[in-house]
Chain A
Amino acid sequence: MTRHPVPGAEGLVFALPKGRILKECAPILAGAGIHPDPDCLDESSRRLRFGTSDASVDVIRVRSFDVATFVAFGAAQIGICGADVLMEFDYPELYAPLDLGIGACRVSVAAPEGVDLGDPSRWSDIRVASKYPNIARRHFAARGIHAEIVHLNGAMELAPGLGLSRLIVDLVQTGSTLRANGLREVETIADVTSRLIVNRTALKTRPEAVGAWIARFRAAIARRAEARAA
């Protein structure tokens, strides 16, 4: 496989997720001493790569799932993404050395309100709509049920009502989207918070630089916890 050299390979690229978690990241980034260009945290900006107060650190803003991919392939060395993404991809090249405690939610199974699903212990297979095909498949396989996955990227909540699937597996924060679409949460697969992730090779080959950033984030998290307790 041919690989291309990355310009400025000595600098660090930090991958941040668009959307839900981005705003919650801001105080932790500031606590750790990363001050990205002001439009980085503004979702309406069309830029994808941003400078920071530190000339050797750039920030990229990508979809949550893509944070894991950029960091796993070493295109970015550090990133922030939900534990749901790590569970789904399970990239061996990703380390998750720090729980940031933000973006709390859960990956759950949901079913249509008022529909009798029968006794799940008698099921051989079930059709499930999800943006987490691996998590959903593993969850049901552990119970001896073959999950036939309908892989959707959004609007999972529509699937049971329109006959696309019987269940969905999705990220649930408050449950209001489920309720608004006539669904109820039947089982929590995992509680999820956001993690600081690092590329394995980067940690092995640039331990001082990467290790220093992990330590700064650890300190920032500890200070936040203390401030909350006080």
Chain B
Amino acid sequence: MTRPGQLPDSLPESLVEFDRATDGGGEPPPSAALLPSGLRDVLPPEAETEARAIETMMGIFAAHGYDRVKPPLLEFEDSLFGGSGAAVAGQAFRLMDPDTHRMMGLRPDMTPQVARIAATRLRRAPRPLRLAYAGPCVLLHGATLDPERQVSQAGIELIGIDDPRADAEIVAVAAEALDALNVPRVSFDLTLPRLAAVMIEQAELGLDQRRRLLHALDRKDAAIVAREGGPLAGVLGDLLLSAGPVPRALAMLMAAPLAGEARRLAERLEASVQAIRARLPLATLTLDPVDFRGWQYHTGVSVTVYAGREQVGRGGQYVGGADEPACGLTLRPEALLRAAPARPARPRVWVPASAIGQAEALRAQGFVTIAGFDSGAACSDAPGDDIAEAARLGCTHILRDGQAWPM
């Protein structure tokens, strides 16, 4: 008699084996190497390259007076998603704190955390406050083109000042950091994320039309903007096609019939462009006045940083905690390392166990030292074996007679 789930006694042994191997005919067991989508192990040499790149950038941020802070990975969702953080709430993993039974969020972005620090623990620190940070963030969903769900950030925030020269400072500091990493073909795309919304608000369009129009603007679908734009169809159509190099795009924006808040945003952008140009006369600047892609907390002039085809960073003006004006820029180390040329690897020298005392001097000369072991089959004192062993461990040099010889 066989109970459900139990194999009958008479089942042939081969079939029992088969049944075990296939877990009762279901899915094969998952590979231990399989990670959830958008997550990856960073291996040598990329892991070290990334760490060094982040330290290079943080060094430049520090030299410009940006003091480093380190917010936690997790915090209560009310504080993580308060203020400017509301815009990132949809991208956060949440879990319950077993102590307080309150919900915590895993940060998808660090800027709202830094804004919180500035408004709370550093509220008495003198303004303008310059803060820098670096660390991993986790997103609920990857994008179609960028499936990563864990992304590193390294950035700066300039808090307590609303000035075109502040916008220029964050762009200039980011440019210097990219330059230090030899990131090629850098361009800055300036946008006014609130301009389209302000214009649509001023035109008092219906809610449904507003939604369709904003979606069409985001996709630069000129046909739908023309159909849904109502009184704005002409001007939004022109602005949509004005995207491009700054001189022409800015001239088109300033010539557009803008009123009130929309005009004020455009004038501020013009002032920021002049301030950026003054600090970075040779930078490639583009302008897309009706683009509002990205975290939705940016309120004024915003900037997206490109290196070739990679989007390597994003920043702009926002309203910090306690309604303080602020601006900042966050770079994405993974993306900019894809754009940057590979750094030459450091020379690796194999040091036999008998000569380990000389390794420190070699390290002082810039070598990576790989210590040999005398025990084990692969090692012996025969010189031929030393070379084989050094080669097996990927060394570029071998220590012999007190000197590092190239392999």
Contact = CB atoms under 8 A, between A and B. Distances in A.
Interface residues of B, number: 31
A83 interface: yes
A1 B222 contact: no
Interface stretch (B71-79, B241-249, B361-369): B241-249
Interface in B258-317: 286, 288, 293, 304, 306, 308-309, 311
Given A92-B293, A93-B144, A204-B304, A211 B219 contact: no
Interface in B19-68: 40
A67 B146 CA distance: 19
A214 B311 contact: no
Interface string B211-230: 00000001111110010000
A51 to B, nearest CB: 23
Contact of B187 (A3, A202, A204): A204
Contacts of A3: 338
B211 to A, nearest CB: 12
Nearest to B143: A92
Contact of B218 (A1, A92, A97, A207): A92
Given A203-B243, A204-B304, A207-B286, A96 B222 contact: yes
Nearest to B246: A207
B145 interface: yes
A96 B223 contact: yes
Given A204-B288, A205-B306, A211 B222 contact: no
Nearest to A199: B309
Interface in B142-161: 143-148
A193 interface: yes
Contacts of B143: 92
B189 interface: yes
A1 B46 CA distance: 12
Nearest to A212: B244
Given A94-B219, A193-B223, A195-B223, A205 B145 contact: no
Contact of B219 (A73, A92, A98, A214): A92
A201 B244 contact: no
A204 B145 CA distance: 16
Contacts of B148: 1
Contacts of A1: 40, 146-148
Interface residues of A, number: 30
Contacts of B181: none
B19 to A, nearest CB: 34
Among B226, B244, B306, B309, max chain A CB count under 10 A is at B309
B189 to A, nearest CB: 5
A94 B222 CA distance: 12
Nearest to B215: A90
Contacts of A95: 219-221
Interface in B228-260: 240-241, 243-245
Contacts, number: 76
A187 interface: no
Contacts of A73: 145
B185 interface: yes
A3 B147 CA distance: 12
A202 B148 CA distance: 21
Interface string A188-226: 000001010000111111011001001000000000000
Contacts of B189: 204
Contacts of B146: 1
A204 B306 contact: yes
Nearest to A214: B241
Contact of A86 (B145, B219, B304, B311): B219
A10 B241 CA distance: 22
A139 B145 CA distance: 26
Contacts of A99: 222-223, 226
A202 B220 CA distance: 14
A153 to B, nearest CB: 21
Interface in A52-92: 72-74, 83, 86, 90-92
A214 B40 CA distance: 39
A226 to B, nearest CB: 18
Given A1-B147, A72-B144, A92-B144, A205 B221 contact: no
A70 B243 CA distance: 22
Contact of B145 (A72, A195, A211, A214): A72
8 contacts: A1-B40, A92-B143, A92-B218, A92-B293, A93-B145, A203-B220, A207-B244, A214-B241
Given A92-B293, A96-B223, A97-B221, 19 more contacts: A1-B40, A1-B147, A9-B309, A72-B144, A72-B145, A86-B221, A92-B218, A94-B219, A95-B219, A96-B219, A96-B222, A97-B240, A193-B223, A203-B243, A204-B189, A205-B185, A207-B244, A207-B245, A208-B244
Interface of B: 40, 143-148, 185, 187, 189, 218-223, 226, 240-241, 243-245, 286, 288, 293, 304, 306, 308-309, 311, 338
